[in-house]
């Protein structure tokens, strides 16, 4: 903060304009590198989300299938138990002393028979559900394999571009930070705000053919003289970008 305040008194308006224009040149080069990467980082993120979502879905389906298979085993065990009871009751019917005992055992046999039918019905339902889930799992696994291949390809593509440009981007980022230190905080904040809202990230533009280099609206002759004098910071009345004269381009470079 103190350093910026010191620069505010040390730098002339012309020096501020030069620093801003140099910063814009550097930031525009960084933008070009990021444009080269394009939508790849977002595509990679989307594919990673897809893969994670499919893996979660397949995991849930497999857990559900496992629970259904356990339920099938349980129902089969219940059938075996019911069959054992039926056999027991049938044996007991051979030794009953009266009709009432016989009828009571008959009802128990009937109840266990119904229980077996119900278990078989549930087993059929569970078996159908397991088959359906297996089909969905197979389809989801197919989609997952395709997404993983796409993800590997996109990651490789992004890694190649990143490797090719990371050194240059790092140097440019360092240069951008060095230039930002020279610019007073208020002016730097305005630059960043304009840049974030402006087309192509241009916050500082030259006057070209008597017009704003950002929105291409004509600039009155007197205003052009004020810009060339470099005595004050002038912004385009149409788009709000900071204006510099065309000569600065010839005088400033990235070196």
Q: CA dist 163 to 149, 156, 157, 166, 240, Å? A: 21, 10, 10, 6, 37
| Angle (nearest 5°) at CA 182 between 178 and 186 | 120
Q: Does residue 65 register a pLDDT over 70?
A: yes
The residue-averaged pLDDT of 168-194 equals 91
The residue-averaged pLDDT of 111-116 equals 97
Confidence bin at 254 (pLDDT 50/70/90): very low
Confidence bin at 252 (pLDDT 50/70/90): low
- Residue 111 phi/psi, 5-degree rounding, is -65, -45
pLDDT at residue number 251: 67
The residue-averaged pLDDT of 204-231 equals 92
CA nearest neighbour of 20 among 200, 205, 237, 228: 205
Q: Does residue 80 register a pLDDT over 70?
A: yes
Q: Does residue 183 register a pLDDT over 80?
A: yes
The CA distance from 183 to 165, in Å, is: 27
- Enumerate the domain spans of the chain: 2-36+180-251, 40-167
More confident residue, 251 or 6: 251
The residue-averaged pLDDT of 178-183 equals 90
Do 252 and 209 meet the contact criterion of CB atoms below 8 Å apart? no
The CATH number of the structural domain formed by 40-167 is 1.10.287
pLDDT at residue number 5: 42
The residue-averaged pLDDT of 105-127 equals 97
Q: How far is CA 70 from the centre of its chain?
A: 38
Q: pLDDT by residue (tens digit) across 8-33?
A: 456 788 989 999 999 999 999 999 88
Contacts of 136 (CB under 8 A, 6+ apart): 61
Q: Does residue 1 register a pLDDT over 70?
A: no
Contacts of 216 (CB under 8 A, 6+ apart): none
Q: pLDDT by residue (tens digit) across 50-62?
A: 999 999 999 999 9
pLDDT at residue number 165: 83
Q: Does residue 167 register a pLDDT over 90?
A: no
The residue-averaged pLDDT of 171-177 equals 92
Q: Give pTM, 2 decimals.
A: 0.57
């Amino acid at each position: 903060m103190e350093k910026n305040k010191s620069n505010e008194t040390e730098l002339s308006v012309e020096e501020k304009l030069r620093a801003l224009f140099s910063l814009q040149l550097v930031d525009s080069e960084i933008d070009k590198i990021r444009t080269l990467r394009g939508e790849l980082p977002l595509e990679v993120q989307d594919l990673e989300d897809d893969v994670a979502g499919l893996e979660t879905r397949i995991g849930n389906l497999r857990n559900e299938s496992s629970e259904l298979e356990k339920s099938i085993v349980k129902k089969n065990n219940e059938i075996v138990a019911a069959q054992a009871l039926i056999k027991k009751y049938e044996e007991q019917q051979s030794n009953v002393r009266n009709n009432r005992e016989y009828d009571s055992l008959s009802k128990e046999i009937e109840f266990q028979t119904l229980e077996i039918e119900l278990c078989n019905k549930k087993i059929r339902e569970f078996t159908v559900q397991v088959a359906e889930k297996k089909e969905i799992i197979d389809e989801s696994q197919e989609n997952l394999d395709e997404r993983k291949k796409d993800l590997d390809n996109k990651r490789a593509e992004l890694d190649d571009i990143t490797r090719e440009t990371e050194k240059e981007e790092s140097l440019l980022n360092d240069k951008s930070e060095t230039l930002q230190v020279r610019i007073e905080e208020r002016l730097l904040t305005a630059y960043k705000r304009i840049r974030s809202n402006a087309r192509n990230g241009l916050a500082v533009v030259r006057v070209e053919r008597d017009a704003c280099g950002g929105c291409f609206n004509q600039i009155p002759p007197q205003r052009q003289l004020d810009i060339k004098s470099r005595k004050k910071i002038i912004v385009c009345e149409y788009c709000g970008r900071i204006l510099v004269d065309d000569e600065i381009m010839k005088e400033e470079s990235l070196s």
